[in-house]
A and B are shown apart, each in its own frame.
Chain A
Amino acid sequence: MTNANSREHRGSRFTALLLCLVPIAFVPFLLMNEQARDFLSFRDGFLRASVLGTMLLALNCGLLGPLLVARRMAMLSDTLAHAVLPGIAAGFLWSLTRDAVAMLTGAVLTGVLSSLIVSLVGRSTRLKPDAALSVVLTVFFAAGIALIKLISNAYPEANKAGLDRFLYGQAAAVSDADVVMLAAAAGITIITLLIGYRGFLVMAFDEAFGRAMGLPVRALHYLQMLLTTLAIVVSMEAVGVILVAGLLIIPASTAWLLSTRLHRVLWISALVGMAAAPMGAFLSYTGENRPTGPTLVLCSGLMFAAALLFSPRNGLARKWWAWLQHGRRIRREDTLKAIYRHLETVDFRPLELHTGEASTTEGELRALVRHGLGEWRSAAFVLSPAGFREASRMVRNHRLWELYLTQHAGFAYDHVHDSAERMEHLLAEENISAMMRVLGGPKTDPHGKRIPSLEDTVESLRNQPANS
């Protein structure tokens, strides 16, 4: 078990690394493109700042996202993100310039206000959290949009200042000073998590237990909310308020699919975010009218889709493959059963079979040959010894189950066929021996047909009639 587990861990680590290497696969293709060469050469200082900036903010969001997902607060991050918009606009109105301090202060204030309202509504009404979150999100966002429209009418120069970019984000607007700020924000998050990780873990898993042990759970909650608000506020110019929640939640959800230990989820999430960031920044950089928010979130979404499909633990691809194999096995077993029944009616002579007999198709027979269950003799099909054994097993399972249901579960004998059609493929040998025991080694099924045994040979069967 330990072995299987560590193999799974290696598997998930491998997939996580592979996911993060996805961007590198694009490199040779990109070198053909002049703009791309420009991007990759990193000569452009503005570009350097914008790529570095997006990576730092993706790191910050990637580390904070898993805690939100773990505490079922994914929607709260979206509400917080939208609620900072009126704060930005109000900050602009107050200072009448793009004064960063005024706008950031406004953003933090309305962000905090929105989460207070959400918890107030949750505590004092019958309203469920999703409704409360939606009300606050839409109202604050509407207020933000209205204020921005008002500002751009009254102060045309505000348009130049680019209040619009706070909606969709523009990584190109990241300056060297912003990079320092983003690095500081990411640093605060990293240090807080390094010190307080165990506290956050207990809070997210079992808050009451944490409080009972005397851990400062309330304080940790407010700290988490503060860090999340900060991450949103410092990211909003580059990514935009509409989609910044995607950077918090998508890498976290991707990591959630890949690991079952919270600390691994944290670092995988950070890696996924940081891998998506340069891709998004590049897409935004190389095209006109490609705001960074959407490109960044699309790239994260791509990685989520990859994890959803190819996660080693429970990826859809693996599930589909297993399902497909299972379906094929059942079809093979049904063919074998049909052949056995046909052979039974002709007293096992001749053993050869032609396509179409026992309603078999050529494809079905070929599948049996491929799996070593039969072979071609000139134009005729013959079961191999393994195939004959398998066929006996299926017919035995079917008839034994029918007998068991009629004798021990009170089923009518004409009500058992459909159930047996399913169960024959699932019965294991220990189930069979248990049934044999309680039924006392029966020889015939409820319809009077002989129940085969795995020891049967063609010779032994030829010497007795099928219906005894």
Chain B
Amino acid sequence: MTPAVEFHDLTVSYDRKPVLFGVDAVVPEKSLCGIIGPNGAGKSTLIKAVMGLLPVEGGWTQVFGGPLDKCRQRVAYVPQRSSVDWDFPVNAMDVVLMGRYGRLGLFKRPEKTDRAIAAEALEKVQMSAYADRQISQLSGGQQQRVFLARALAQQADLYLMDEPFTGVDAATERAIVTLLQDIRGKGGTIVAVHHDLTTAPVYFDHLLLINLRLIASGPVEEVFTQELLQKTYGGRLTVLSEMAFKGMKKPEFRDPRE
């Protein structure tokens, strides 16, 4: 079976922050995969690299056994909620309809079927009543649901989500989890950045443990162990993180006489 996502010796550098080194991993199809690791470990960087949003320094990623460009419309990306300006003059329905623009391309207008798909996506996240609401009038959890609905409207096979549970209420968190399990049940694959260790083994069936490099990857019952978690969270490899930082700067000139 071709994996949904494959990382091969992936190295990424990003905006003067620590980077990812030589990640080798696969995410099997029809899995609910969590990316786990401490702050600044490169979790978001990993999925941004898959979406081609960051320059890759070495190695590659593949989606469904080929480059992303071959199957872009099979992949939906859900950015962090804080990455957009929620005062923007659009309503919830406008945002969800954006999920259709990828398939439509620049020049085709959304048709009735597109609107129906968007309305259905809003329905799935229980936000139909808020379709006309300007997005600044939504709560954090509602905003996350709208983002999710936009991804659903893409009708993708692979969903890459950046911190979908950050800053949402308990009801929204439950609703999202149910929805993700539903997607997997219908043959979809989900990769989500997550930082809550207590819920991680409950929500996901596959995990990537990351701290600047891959610590472990595999089914939850194999990977979610005391030892591997300690390795993930228990301090960085000092030389690696120092080099990560240096790699971002121009090499400094050192006078050899010093």
Contacts and interface: CB of A to CB of B under 8 A. Distances in A.
Contact of B79 (A72, A199, A209, A256): A209
Interface stretch (B28-36, B94-102, B185-193, B220-228): B94-102
Q: Summarize A's interface: helix, strand, loop or mixed.
A: helix
Nearest to B151: A209
Contact of A260 (B52, B83, B89, B95): B89
Contacts of B84: 205-206
Given A5-B132, A205-B84, A198 B90 contact: no
A198 B88 contact: no
B90 A206 contact: no
Nearest to B51: A212
Contacts of B83: 206, 208
Contacts of B75: 212
Contact of A204 (B53, B79, B88, B104): B88
Contacts of A260: 89-91, 134
A68 B98 CA distance: 20
Contacts of A373: none
A199 B101 contact: yes
Nearest to B47: A212
Nearest to B79: A208
A167 B129 CA distance: 52
A75 interface: no
Interface stretch (A139-147, A213-221, A300-308, A343-351): A213-221
B107 interface: yes
Contact of A205 (B51, B77, B90, B106): B90
Contacts of B110: 198
Interface residues of B, number: 33
Given A198-B106, A259-B89, A205 B98 contact: yes
B106 A195 contact: yes
B111 interface: no
B69 interface: yes
Contacts of A93: none
A205 B91 contact: no
Contacts of A199: 101, 106
Interface string A238-266: 00000000000000000010011110110
28 contacts: A1-B129, A1-B132, A5-B132, A70-B88, A195-B107, A198-B106, A198-B109, A201-B90, A202-B101, A205-B88, A206-B83, A208-B51, A208-B83, A209-B79, A210-B101, A211-B53, A212-B51, A212-B52, A212-B75, A212-B77, A213-B101, A214-B72, A214-B73, A214-B102, A256-B89, A260-B91, A260-B134, A262-B89
Interface of A: 1-2, 5, 70, 72, 195-196, 198-199, 201-202, 204-206, 208-216, 256, 259-262, 264-265
Given A214-B69, A264-B89, 16 more contacts: A5-B133, A196-B106, A198-B98, A198-B110, A201-B90, A205-B84, A205-B88, A208-B48, A209-B79, A209-B98, A212-B77, A213-B77, A214-B102, A215-B106, A216-B106, A259-B89
